[in-house]
Chain A
Amino acid sequence: EAQVTQNPRYLITVTGKKLTVTCSQNMNHEYMSWYRQDPGLGLRQIYYSMNVEVTDKGDVPEGYKVSRKEKRNFPLILESPSPNQTSLYFCASSLGQGRETQYFGPGTRLLVL
């Protein structure tokens, strides 16, 4: 089944404790992206990647890192999480950028205490 998977689905952590949210897709997509969803602010892009080893900042990259060492994986790293990073995170992928449909993962709900 073609899908985007994320792990973990739910996470409670404390300020400053490094964490990684994994994202994997099995559709051989070149483009991958991370979004966060917050009440009143909607969905905003954090980082995106157009291909292996090619990443760039989205609208809200502060406090996040990403890497794209393999085509299928695009982990989101929070080196020192803070409470303002409490959010619902979505990974997405598509064949390319622009006109292609982006397929979303199920989401990761993060609470930083």
Chain B
Amino acid sequence: GNSVTQMEGPVTLSEEAFLTINCTYTATGYPSLFWYVQYPGEGLQLLLKATKADDKGSNKGFEATYRKETTSFHLEKGSVQVSDSAVYFCALSDRYTGKLIFGQGTTLQVKP
């Protein structure tokens, strides 16, 4: 079945450090891939998405590229800020049911 695996956290970085959060997936066909972010006490917000192989999603300095050959969708940011501290979820969408299948989430803490 479909599944998503994320690197375990927590990840602690200093401000302006480079961020990578690894995400790999298993799926039949070509699902859409998403990164969602959850700030403390809030719901999930879409950070970026990609709908086909080699697509690059980007938003607020974050980027991720849909790599079909490695079944990966790693999240990167060149210079993190304290305000980026949150939980990040990688997800894929089941094309038949629309169900989002989430990774376990990675907590990012950025220190000044």
Asked if A and B are interacting partners, one says yes
Set of chain A residues within 8 Å of B51, measured between Cβ atoms: 99
Query: What is the total of A-B residue contacts with beta carbons within 8 Å?
Result: 65
Instruction: For the complex formed, measure the closest distance between the CB of B66 and the CB atoms of chain A, giving whole angstroms.
Output: 12
Contact between chains at A42 and B102 (CB < 8 Å): yes
Binds A, one of B20-28, B78-86, B89-97: B89-97
Interface of A (DSSP majority class): strand
Set of chain B residues within 8 Å of A105, measured between Cβ atoms: 43
A16 to B96, CA, bound (A): 34
Question: How many residues belonging to B are interface residues under a CB distance threshold of 8 Å?
Answer: 23
**Quick one: closest B residue to A59, CB to CB?**
B99
Interface positions, chain A 68-113, Cβ under 8 Å from B, are 90, 92, 94, 96-107
Instruction: For the complex formed, measure the closest distance between the CB of A63 and the CB atoms of chain B, giving whole angstroms.
Output: 19
Instruction: For the complex formed, measure the closest distance between the CB of B101 and the CB atoms of chain A, giving whole angstroms.
Output: 8
Does chain B have a CB within 8 A of A45? yes
Does chain A have a CB within 8 A of B45? yes
Does chain A have a CB within 8 A of B42? yes
Which residues in B have some Cβ–Cβ distance to A below 8 Å? 32, 34, 36, 42-46, 49, 51, 89, 93-100, 102-105
Q: A94-B98, A99-B93 provided; 13 other pairs, C-beta below 8 A?
A: A33-B98, A42-B104, A43-B89, A43-B100, A48-B97, A48-B98, A48-B99, A90-B44, A92-B44, A97-B93, A97-B95, A103-B46, A106-B43
